[in-house]
Amino acid sequence: MVAAVAALCVQGLATTAQAQYPEKPISIIYPWSPGQPFEVVLRKLSEEMAKELGQPVVINTVAGAGGKKSMVAAANAKPDGYTLVNNWVAPQIAGKLFDPSLPYDNNDFTPISGVMAIPFTMTVSKSHPANTMLEFIDWSKQESRTLNFGVCAPQSVPRLVGEQFMRVAGLKFNSIPNSGGCMSDNMTGLLNGSLDISVGIVPATQIMEGQLKHLVLLSDSPHPLAPDLATTKEVGLEIGWGSAVLGWGGLAAPAGTPDDVLVKLRNLVGRILQDEAFLKDLGPLRNMIDYKTPEDFQTLWTDTEVLLSPHVAVLKKGNN
Amino acid sequence: MAEFFDTITGILGLLTWTQLCFLIIGVAAGVIVGALPGVGPLLGVVMAIPFTFYMDPISSMALLMGIYQGGSYGGALSATIIGIPGTPMAAATLLDGHPMALGGRASFAVTLSTIASSFGGVLSGIVLIAVAPALASIAIKFGPSEVAAFAFLGLTTIGALSGGSAAKGWLMGFLGLLIASVGLDPVSGASRFTFGSVYLGSGISLIPLLVGLFSISEILRQIERPMRVHDTSSNVSASMEAFRTVITRPINYIRSSLMGVFIGILPGIGGVTASFLSYRAAMVFKKKGDPKFGKGNPDGVISSEAANSAVAGGALIPMLAMSIPGDPIVAVLMGGLMIQGIQPGATMFLNYPDVIDGIFAVFVLGALFILPIGLFFVRIIVVLMRLPQWAIMSVVLMISVIGTYTVAREIMDLWMLLFFGVAGYLLRKADYPLSPIVVGFVLGPIFENNFRRTGLVSQGDIVGYVADRPITLAVLVVIVLFLAFPLFNALKRKKTNIPI
């Protein structure tokens, strides 16, 4: 009798718990060190989510090891809908390709939605004689030397994309990675002449507007972040993956999260990301928003993996 | 010149009471986070960012820069009083501040740090206002070879920091370099000494290393043999004496502050280098009759504190003028501006002159506020020092553990803390100096990354490349002098047969 009552109570609790998701704060694991525009976007999104869900949505920064720590934390989190992750291509796809022994893979995560997309560009100093990519290629032929090419972090996605472009463009280059990422070292390198050209992340390089020149967007289609910039297609140097923007980030949950929770989150996030008032509130950052349905987002994971893996292989071979 | 003073007096009137209030909160909060082992100004600024979302830009900068300035100074308080540097740059302040406090001059030592910090901050603020855009162009002249040379110059201070035996100092410096090599290779991205662990993939973190080496080991040593700081002089006379140093040692104040500003401008070199280099410079210009460096020399405290506070003003220059964040805290400040919809950079001077003026005003006032706010904390600390030693040390232990955990909320960091605590204790027992480990650990990666970038950029011809870079060459000459100086002295002593 007692057992039956207890069982009933437990079941009752369980159903109310599910009916009332969320009944405690939700945390979103965020992989980068503070001060990036992505965090602002994510914070605004989490505020909107909190309004609708009636529970706080907290950003939990787990930075380190190029974002891989965040993926490990998310893969090990309880799949109950209270821990989500702002998953990025760098740790999830590129990091895993470079180091297959990492304790996570795509199957450890369930997509909620694609949230942001950051395109890459080729960038030179403002004082560089070339004003377009084709002029740059002509210039480098006259120089006839190996170019110093700044490539962000050693195992980064912009490096893979940028080196592929340099190969397609037939330029002789010497890659110069820096552990500090795309910002400071690459920019100062271009300005003081220790780099001839570098690959950049669009929102980061735009901050340096006035001191740098963007030559080409590394995609076949224009991007709202840089609508006037020539695309690879326009300069006739296609890198072979069409319009895909490989600098993506989104929201995912640990695999095994209950379906009703996923449905609720997917609908909510989808609605917010397509809401004009929300986008307006983001100001210029709205151009980073690239909503993708869970299905499209998951396809993007596998597509990216297929696109990047040969280039990771090239790089790995070069290092050994 | 008259115009310059007009600017200064003019902008001080720009701030509203709300903005002033946020600045005072910021500086006070900064002093606390700076003094707590492990927490530090970076974490303080990061934690404050969400509060700034709904502020006006100048209030936001007042709060954040207040924390930055207060935090750069706060580390000196714990370094002096309990021998535990709250921030890595305070490790240089500890060298003389703590012995001074142990010798019964605690009030004097902390008051001296406060004055030096405030002085360094104000001077760097003036440089910031006067020549920010002009100086910003220096920042970009610094390529990898210059940064590598400066980091190496910082590393050469190790031999001088070791008190007794230079060999022990170098040994510890190399240990710091070795510990720093754990993690990802900065050029190939390959894992080094990580044993397949994702935790070690991002390297050993500075905070558990610093807090473990200094704080945990100090607590262990105190359990064994309680040794406390005391104050034999009255507060008033200690303060008077500390204020008098401004008149009697003006050159040290100015030299150290200017070194701080200059190093602050250079991207990616940072406060630790500034503190230790300026400390090293003070050793070169040692006054006759002063106590030895490492035994409570006031110039040691002044040089370290003036320099590390002055770094803040320098570091803001490339950020404001060219949107290059030279250090992690400034990167967060830059994020704070961007949240407000303001793009730092040359256009900011045209589009938001009021914000620029506000930032200048906030900076100078913030540095001035360090004096009253710092002295207020000094009074509290002097009272707290009367508590029983076991009570102080238990609280320090608690804060060290919580502070270390808060930074990354990573349990492994606590194991590291314990490991470095025990290691630090054993090293202290064997009379090995600890600050060279910090110098090696902090500067090693900066040197390595930039030295290897130099190799790559020069495409193999390092010598030819460096020969074309006058700044690098000049720094290399200074390095040779720094290294040759003690050797030369030793030879001289040998000749005249004076026992060393």
A140 lies in the same domain as A108:
no
User: Residue B324 and residue A37: Cβ atoms within 8 Å?
Assistant: no
Residues of A in contact with B188 (CB under 8 A): 154, 177, 319
**Domain finish residue from A243, A276, A296:** A243
pLDDT for B43-96, tens place per residue? 888 888 778 877 888 999 999 999 999 999 999 998 988 888 888 889 899 999
Cβ-nearest to A184 among B141, B143, B267 = B267
The nearest CA of chain A is from the CA of B99 a distance in Å of 37
Could you tell me if residue A21 is inside a domain?
A: no
Could you tell me if residue A4 is inside a domain?
A: no
B192-231 core/surface letters (b: 16 or more CB in 10 A; e: else): eebeeebbbbbbbbbbbbbbbbbbbbbbbbbeeeeeebeb
d(CA B325, CA B268): 8
pLDDT at A16: 47
Residues of B in contact with A62 (CB under 8 A): 408-409
pLDDT at B493: 65
Cβ-nearest to A192 among B143, B198, B445 = B143
pLDDT at B366: 93
Residues of B in contact with A97 (CB under 8 A): none
> Measured between CB atoms, does A63 come within 8 Å of chain B?
yes
User: Residue B453 and residue A185: Cβ atoms within 8 Å?
Assistant: yes
d(CA B258, CA A165): 45
A158 lies in the same domain as A266:
no
B377 residue type, one letter: F
The interface residues of chain B toward chain A in range 103-162, judged by CB-CB distance below 8 A, are 139-144
The nearest CA of chain B is from the CA of A189 a distance in Å of 6
The neighbour count for residue B468, using CB atoms within 10 Å, is 10
pLDDT at A3: 54
Cβ-nearest to A69 among B198, B326, B345 = B198
B246 residue type, one letter: V
CA distances from A120 to A101, A171, B28, B148, B345 (A): 28, 18, 42, 29, 21
Contacts of A230 (CB under 8 A, 6+ apart): A132, A133, A215, A216, A217
**Domain finish residue from A203, A220, A243:** A243
The mean pLDDT value for B451-459 works out to: 89
Q: Across chain A, what does the average pLDDT equal?
A: 85
pLDDT for B404-417, tens place per residue? 888 777 889 999 99
**Under DSSP, is residue B343 helix (H, G, I), strand (E, B) or coil?**
coil
A133 lies in the same domain as A232:
yes
Proportion of chain A in helix, strand, coil states, percent, rounded to 5: 45, 20, 30
DSSP B324: -
Find out whether A83 and A254 touch, Cβ atoms under 8 Å. Answer: yes
The interface residues of chain A toward chain B in range 149-208, judged by CB-CB distance below 8 A, are 153-155, 174-180, 183-185, 187-189, 191-195, 207-208
Comparing A82-96, A156-170, B310-324, B483-497, the range with the smallest average pLDDT is B483-497
A39 lies in the same domain as A111:
yes
Q: Across chain B, what does the average pLDDT equal?
A: 85
Residues of B in contact with A99 (CB under 8 A): 191
Cβ-nearest to B324 among A102, A103, A184 = A184
Find out whether B12 and B62 touch, Cβ atoms under 8 Å. Answer: no
pLDDT band at B368 (very low <50, low <70, confident <90, very high): very high
Pairing of strands A83-88, A26-30: parallel
A233 lies in the same domain as A265:
no
Phi then psi for residue B231, to 5 deg, are: -135, 110
> Measured between CB atoms, does B351 come within 8 Å of chain A?
no
pLDDT at A249: 94
Retrieve residue B267's tokens. Answer: 């991207």
d(CA A85, CA A112): 10
Sheet containing strand A147-150, edge to edge, reads A173-176, A147-150, A197-201, A120-125, A212-217
> Measured between CB atoms, does A50 come within 8 Å of chain B?
no
Query: Which H or E element spans position A252?
Result: strand A248-254
The interface residues of chain A toward chain B in range 81-120, judged by CB-CB distance below 8 A, are 98-99, 101-103
pLDDT at B55: 85
Cβ-nearest to A68 among B201, B331, B338 = B201
The nearest CA of chain B is from the CA of A206 a distance in Å of 10
A112 lies in the same domain as A219:
no
Comparing A219-223, A253-257, B3-7, the range with the smallest average pLDDT is B3-7
Could you tell me if residue A193 is inside a domain?
A: yes
Comparing alpha-carbon positions, the chain B residue that sits nearest to A64 is B202
Write the CATH number for A175.
3.40.190.10
Question: Number of helices and strands (H, E) in chain A?
Answer: 12, 11
Range of the domain at B479: 2-496
- Which of B181, B265, B180 shows the shortest CA–CA distance to B439? B180
> Tokens 């590390």 appear where?
B308
d(CA B448, CA B184): 12
The mean pLDDT value for B308-322 works out to: 87
DSSP A93: I
The nearest CA of chain B is from the CA of A23 a distance in Å of 24
A175 lies in the same domain as A273:
no
d(CA A113, CA B21): 42
What is the count of structural domains for chain B?
Answer: 1
Q: Is the pLDDT of residue B499 over 60?
A: no
pLDDT band at A209 (very low <50, low <70, confident <90, very high): low
Q: Is the pLDDT of residue A27 over 90?
A: yes
User: Residue A188 and residue B140: Cβ atoms within 8 Å?
Assistant: yes
> Measured between CB atoms, does B472 come within 8 Å of chain A?
no
User: Residue A148 and residue B457: Cβ atoms within 8 Å?
Assistant: yes
- Which of B228, B260, B218 shows the shortest CA–CA distance to B120? B260
A187 lies in the same domain as A291:
no
> Measured between CB atoms, does A56 come within 8 Å of chain B?
no
Angle in degrees, 0-180, between the axes of helices B298-322 and B353-384, rounded to the nearest 10: 150
CB pairs under 8 A between A and B: 139
d(CA A223, CA A237): 17
The mean pLDDT value for B275-282 works out to: 91
**Is A263 or B357 the better-scoring residue by pLDDT?**
A263
Q: CB burial class (10 A; 0-12, 13-18, 19+) of residue A63?
A: middle
Comparing alpha-carbon positions, the chain A residue that sits nearest to B43 is A34
Find out whether B107 and B66 touch, Cβ atoms under 8 Å. Answer: no
pLDDT at B235: 64
Query: Which among B193, B195, B199, B323 is the top mutation candidate for probing chain A, defined by the most A β-carbons within 10 Å of its own β-carbon?
Result: B323
The mean pLDDT value for B89-117 works out to: 90
d(CA B110, CA A69): 40
A137 lies in the same domain as A284:
no
Q: Is the pLDDT of residue A14 over 60?
A: no
Most confident of A32-36, A287-291, B283-287: A287-291
What is the count of structural domains for chain A?
Answer: 2
Could you tell me if residue A3 is inside a domain?
A: no
d(CA A154, CA A185): 13
Range of the domain at A46: 26-117+247-315
A142 lies in the same domain as A239:
yes
Quick one: what percent of chain B has pLDDT higher than 70?
91
A101 lies in the same domain as A157:
no
pLDDT at A256: 93
Q: Is the pLDDT of residue A320 over 60?
A: no
User: Residue B456 and residue A210: Cβ atoms within 8 Å?
Assistant: no
Retrieve residue B323's tokens. Answer: 């949107």
Q: CA B447, B450, B452: angle at the middle one, nearest 5?
A: 100
Phi then psi for residue A231, to 5 deg, are: -90, 170
A143 lies in the same domain as A220:
yes
Retrieve residue B395's tokens. Answer: 């609280």
Query: Which H or E element spans position B7?
Result: helix B2-12
Rg, C-alpha atoms of chain A: 22
Comparing alpha-carbon positions, the chain A residue that sits nearest to B186 is A179
Comparing alpha-carbon positions, the chain B residue that sits nearest to A191 is B140
Residues of A in contact with B331 (CB under 8 A): 33, 35, 183
The nearest CA of chain A is from the CA of B361 a distance in Å of 23
Cβ-nearest to A210 among B141, B346, B449 = B346
Q: Is the pLDDT of residue B430 over 60?
A: yes
pLDDT at B483: 80
